[in-house]
Amino acid sequence: MSGLVLVTFPYNSEDMEGGNSGTILISLAIEVVFLFVFLFYSDKRKRFALALVILAELIFMAVLAALVITLAHSWRLRSAIIGTIAAMASIAMYASPLASMKLVISTKSVEYMPFSLSLCSLLNSLCWTLYALVGIDLCILVPNGIGVLLGLAQLLLYAKYYKYSNRGGGIEKKQVHVEVDLSELPNGKPFNDA
């Protein structure tokens, strides 16, 4: 969602050259590739759910673009509206790991919160925060600053509960022993080796 909103951001500011549109378009292309990979490996139910989400996002973007173009007549107002919506979408993106953080705390296991994802999320939001500090852009600074805080929280949780995960703590794994009697076939007749 934030990628779609941010695609329109450079074109709704006083800088009509598009500013960072190349970076944003590359980011959007990577997101589209990720969605296709996800669709390829997911089951039919998840594909349908994702299609509904994408449809809702496209409808939202069309309505947003129409409203901003028709109702907001100054570049400053357009930029503020789109920047605020993009910031809210980015905050929602960085807040999405809160569910896995809750699971880590309740199970005392980092099994469902990969370290590499947490680290990359922190580094990404840190880079964008530093970039926003150079240009003093609140629409980039606020969500990515929150992303830094949430990324640090994830890594602190990972450090705290990693030791429990390696000792077999957390979610209990039960071993099931199954015995199969192969002396009879499904039709009830005895099995002959000859």
- Residue ranges of domains in the chain: 1-94, 96-167
Interval 74-99: pLDDT, tens: 878 887 888 788 888 888 878 887 88
- Give residue 101's pLDDT: 84
The rounded distance, in Å, linking the Cα atoms of 80 and 83 is 5
Q: Does domain 96-167 have CATH number 1.20.1280?
A: yes
- Give residue 149's pLDDT: 93
Extract the tokens encoding 170. 């957390």
> Position 118: which residue type?
S
CB neighbour list of residue 174: distance below 8 Å, 6 or more residues apart = none
The rounded distance, in Å, linking the Cα atoms of 1 and 150 is 19
From 155, 20, 144, select the one nearest 89 (Cα to Cα): 144
